[in-house]
Amino acid sequence: MDMELQGVTAVNERILRCHRLRAYVLANDRTPLTDGHLDVYADATKISNANFQHRVNVQVKARGHKAGKNPPKSFTVKSNDLRGFLELRGVLYFVVYINKKTLQTKLMYALLTPFKIESLLKKIPPSGGVSIRLEPFPQDPAEIEKIVRFAAKAQSEDPRARIDFNLLQEPVSITLHSDKTLDLSAPLTLTRDKVNYSVSYQFADGSRVFADHELKIIPEDYYGRYTNVHVEAGDFEYSNPHLRKVDVSTVELTLSKGIRMTMSVEGPTLKSPGNITVSMRPTLEERLHDLGFYFTLLDDQSLKINGTLHTMLVTPSDETGDLRDHLHFLETIANLCERLGVDTRLVDLDSLEEYRGKQLLALEGVLLHGETLSSEHQHVGRISQPIGEWNVQFIVLNDPPTNTWRLYGTFDPNMPGHIVSRSTDTHDAPAIVTVYDVIEYKYLPFTLNLHLENLVAAYQKVSSHAGTDDRANDTVLRLLRAADDVPRRQGEFLTAAAELNSWLQANYGEQPHYLINGWQIAARTGDLSSLDKESIRTLKHQAAREVDERARETELACAILLQDDEERDFFLNQLDTRLAKRFKTWPIWRLTETNSTF
C-alpha cells in the first residue's frame, strides 16, 4: 500500500467537490516543503486565468491508524519546516489517517498561517518540533471553500512587520476572518492555538493592515447596558440599573455597586432572583439604601419594576442575621446624623469600625434618649468627635432649671444663649457674634454638622450688632477657601457663601468687595457670564479713578476675574510688599493658580 499516494488521493478527491477550486497535489512530489497547491477561481463555470484569485500551498502527511481508535488530534511538525512555511506565507497542512485493515481514510487539517507559525516557533528550540492542533476536514464544499479562501486571506499576515498602531490613524473598519462561522452570540475568546482567525484594520486611504492580536469578543448584551427601568422595594428606589446577560437563560441586574440580582429569563419575562449579592459600599447613605432595599425585598418577597408589582422569592443567606444587625447600627447612626444635620453621603463607614462607632452610639444615647453625660464631660467645654477625615463639633452647657449638663451640636440653631466675642489685643467692646465667627478654620472645612442652611438666619439674628457685616464677609471668604481646599464639599460651601453674600448685598448695599465675592463664586461654578464680565470692567474703571490702596486691590481682583495676566501683574506691583503678600492669601488669588479648573 502506497500510503502517500492514498493520502494525496484523499485530499484531491475532497477538493474535487468544490467547483471553484482546483487541486494540484502530487504523490511522491520532490518539491521542498510542499506537495502542491490549491487554486481558487471567482467563477465555477469559467476556470481560466482571467478568473484566477488565489493560490494556497499544501503539505500532505499520510499515517497508518489502527481500527477502533479515534485518530490523534495533534501532529508534530519540525521547526525547520515551520520556518520554511513562514517564508511561503503559510500552508494548508493535511494529515490523512488510513485504517490499515479497511483502508478507509480520515482527513484532518491544520491552517498554519504566518502569525500562528510565528507563535509556534517561539515555543520550540531551533532544531526541535512542536505539536499542532488538527481538526476534521469537512465534507461540505462550501465549508471547504471557506477554509481555502481563509488560508489565502491569511497570507497577507506579515510577522516581520513591526507596526506601531499608536502612529496610525483611526481605522474605518476592523474585519475578523476565520475558516468557519463563529458563534458571536456569546462571549468568545480567540487564541491561535484554538481558533483559526485573522484580524485586519482598514484605513480611510484604502490600506489594510493585519495585526497579531488575541481577541476577546463580548456581545453587547453580555457587556451590558443601562436601562430605562425603575426598581422599587418599599421606600428604596433605583433608577436606570445596569443589565447584562450572563448566559442564555440568565441575566444580572446591577442596581448599584452594592446590589446585584441574578435572575432567570424565559423569553421577555424576568423570574425570581437566583441570587442577590450585597456588597458593602463605603458611605452611610449608600449602604443604608442598599441594605434597606435588600431587607424590604426579603420581608415583602416582592418589588415593583416600572410601577408593576412582581413577586420575588428571596431566600435568606447565612449572613442575613449579621446584615440585619448591621442595618440597625446604620439606622442608629443615620438618626444621629439627621439630628445633627450631617450629610450621610460624607460619612465613611470604614472610619466607624470598633472604637469610633461605639463613641457615636454613646452620643446618640445622650442626644436622642436623654442619657447622662459621663462625669469627665460635666463642665462647659467643646467636644470634637472624629469621623474619618471629618469631625462633628459639640458644646457642653449647664441647664440651670434642671441643673444638668446638656450636649448640643455646636451649630444647632436651637442651642440656648448667645456667643460673646472679646478681643484680647484691642480695647473694643465685647460683641455678640455667631458661632461661625469663632470656629477655627482648621475645623471648618471638615466639620459635618455646620447647619449651613441656618447660616443666613444666624447672621440676621445678630445683624443689629456692630461689625456683623465685616464678620459675615470674613465667613464668605472662609467658605470660599474651604471650597477650594475640600473639593468634595465644594458645592455645599459655594452655595452657602453665595447665600450669605447675597444677604450682605441686600442689607448693606452692593459694595465692591461683595460684588467681587459674588463674581468669584460664579467663576468657581463656571457661571461667570458675559454680562458679569461687563460689570467687572465697569467696576475696574470706577476703581481707576480712586487713589487709595483699596481701589488698587479692586483693580487687581477685577483683572484676575477677567483672566488678564498682564493687568494682574501690573496691579499687583502697584501694591506695597505687605499688601501684596496679604492679597495672595485671599481666595481670589486661588483663581490665578487654578484658572483652568474654574
Cβ atoms of 218 and 187 closer than 8 Å: yes
pLDDT band at residue 140 using 50, 70 and 90 as cut-offs: very high
Cβ atoms of 11 and 26 closer than 8 Å: no
pLDDT in tens, 450-468: 999 999 999 999 999 999 9
- Distance CA(524)–CA(491), nearest Å, equals 10
- Identify the pLDDT of residue 167: 61
Contact residues for 219 (Cβ-Cβ < 8 A; gap 6+): 184, 185, 186, 187, 245
- Average of pLDDT values for 125-138? 89
512-525 and 468-485 helices cross at what angle (nearest 10)?
20
Q: CA nearest 434: which of 396, 460, 453, 395?
A: 460
- Average of pLDDT values for 229-242? 95
- Average of pLDDT values for 392-401? 84
- Identify the pLDDT of residue 596: 43
Q: Which domains does the chain have, with CATH numbers?
A: 3-154 (3.40.1350), 165-220 (no CATH), 225-317 (no CATH), 327-409 (no CATH), 449-597 (no CATH)
pLDDT at 597 over 50: no
- Distance CA(265)–CA(274), nearest Å, equals 10
Give me the chain's average pLDDT, please. Answer: 89
Cβ neighbours of 218 (radius 10 Å): 15
Secondary structure class of 220 (helix, strand, coil): helix
Which has the higher per-residue pLDDT, 270 or 66?
Answer: 66
pLDDT band at residue 273 using 50, 70 and 90 as cut-offs: low
- Identify the pLDDT of residue 268: 63
pLDDT at 240 over 60: yes
- Identify the pLDDT of residue 398: 80
pLDDT band at residue 204 using 50, 70 and 90 as cut-offs: confident
pLDDT in tens, 504-531: 999 999 999 999 999 999 999 999 999 9
Q: Where would I find the H helices in 486-547?
A: 490-508, 512-525, 530-544
- Distance CA(60)–CA(38), nearest Å, equals 12
pLDDT in tens, 176-186: 999 999 988 88
What is the reported pTM?
A: 0.72
Hunting for cell 440676621 — which residue is that?
Answer: 460
- Identify the pLDDT of residue 586: 96
Q: CA nearest 212: which of 111, 119, 84, 131?
A: 119
For the ranges 112-116, 204-208, 325-329, the lowest mean pLDDT is seen at 204-208
- Identify the pLDDT of residue 598: 42
- For the sheet with 404-409, list strands across it: 381-387, 390-399, 404-409
Cβ atoms of 468 and 459 closer than 8 Å: yes
CA separation, residue 319 to residues 165, 234, 292, 293, 298 (Å): 50, 22, 15, 16, 13
**Given the DSSP bridges, would you call strands 269-278 and 259-266 parallel, antiparallel or unpaired?**
antiparallel
Hunting for cell 474585519 — which residue is that?
Answer: 175
Residue 248: how many CA atoms within 13 Å on its side-chain side? 3
- Identify the pLDDT of residue 363: 80
Cβ atoms of 165 and 211 closer than 8 Å: yes
pLDDT at 270 over 70: no
- Identify the pLDDT of residue 312: 83
- Average of pLDDT values for 123-136? 88
pLDDT in tens, 43-55: 888 889 999 999 9
- Average of pLDDT values for 72-98? 94
